[in-house]
Structure 1
Amino acid sequence: MERQQRGFTLIELMIVVAIIGILAAIAIPQYQNYVARSEVSSALATLKSLQTPAELAVQEGDTTSSASDLGLSDNAVQNGSISVSNFSGTDDDGEPVSPTITFTFDDEGNFSSETLTLERQDDGGWECTTTITDDDVVPDSCVANSN
């Protein structure tokens, strides 16, 4: 009498579960890293979108005091806030200072209170610095600092 096959054996099911577990162990950290990098990239893209209007404000001598002065709407920023400073060209003591645009991450994300900053250089270019210390998520165009 021939035996009819009725399904999977226990060992076959255990092998499938083990393979799925291994794939999940590799995929979940990679996904979390991807999400973290996308948060930082989104913040940098938002800052970069303000770079041209900020340069125009510097060239025209405007004393910009908020991101909305540069054309950014209030609901355009996700997972953080943007502040601008030093567009008057001098500090309280009359010393020259460089204009900066700073993105500060919200407390609920991967980078609680970390910042990305675009600062205008003397040669007219803009330099990106960040307080994020994880080199895997910091964009190549940004320099990590400890401020």
Structure 2
Amino acid sequence: MKKQQGFTLIELLIVVAIIGVLSAIAIPAYKEQAVKADASSGVATLRSLLTNTDLHIQETAKFPTTLDQIGANTSMSSLGLVTIDGTPSGANGTLKFAYGKKSALSGADAKFVRAADGWKCTLANIPTTLGITADDVKGCN
């Protein structure tokens, strides 16, 4: 007669418990990284337009009034919309990324504001439940 080999029920339950503990730790960490990735993606989209905007200002001495002037469009990213926020004043103005429904940051905004002292990045309307700040977003600090 052959000897049967296999795992006991206790061994299988221990493995399932270990997998449960690991996933309880990993899933929240993954979600936090996904939120930070969304935020960084919006900031990177705007950052890619800064050089074109500076070149436009250098050539015309005015902040662009449309995205076409800097080789951009509103739907550059699937995560949200790019716009020129407000009315530019001379060489100063604001580029804005509004996070859309596909993003974990839906309703939040990333902005690059150009003033006499250069570009400044800000994030606004980030849901407090996400637990991130502008300092956590690469490219915006």
Q: Percent identity?
A: 36
Equivalent position of 1:127 in the other structure: 120
Q: Which residue of 1 aligns with 2:110?
A: 116
Structure with the larger strand share? 2
Query: Does structure 1 conserve the Cα–Cα contact (< 8 Å) formed by 2:123 and 2:134?
Result: no
Rounded to whole Å, the distance in 1 between the matches of 2:27 and 2:56 is 44
How many residues are aligned here? 134
1:81 touches 1:106 (CA, 8 Å); kept in 2? yes
Residue aligned with 1:76, SS? coil
**1:87 has 2:81 as partner:** no
TM-score normalised by the chain length of structure 1: 0.78
- Runs (4+) of structure 1 exceeding 4 A deviation are none
Greater Rg over alpha carbons, structure: 1
Does the C-alpha gap of structure 1 residues 136 and 67 become closer, same or farther in structure 2, counting only changes over 3 Å?
closer
Give 1:120 deviation, angstroms: 0.7
Which residues of 2 match residues 9-48 of structure 1 at below 5 A?
9-48=8-47
Could you say which structure has the greater relative contact order, defined with CA pairs below 8 angstroms and 6 or more residues apart? 2
CA contact (8 A) 1:58 1:87 kept: no
So what's the TM-score if we normalise by structure 2?
A: 0.80
- 1:113 shift after superposition: 1.4
Residue 141 of structure 1 deviates from its aligned partner by 4.8
Give the structure 1 partner of residue 51 of structure 2. 52
* Mapped contact 2:75–2:82 kept (Cα < 8 A): no
Q: Which runs of 5+ in 2 are unaligned?
A: none
Change (3 A) 1:51 1:116: same
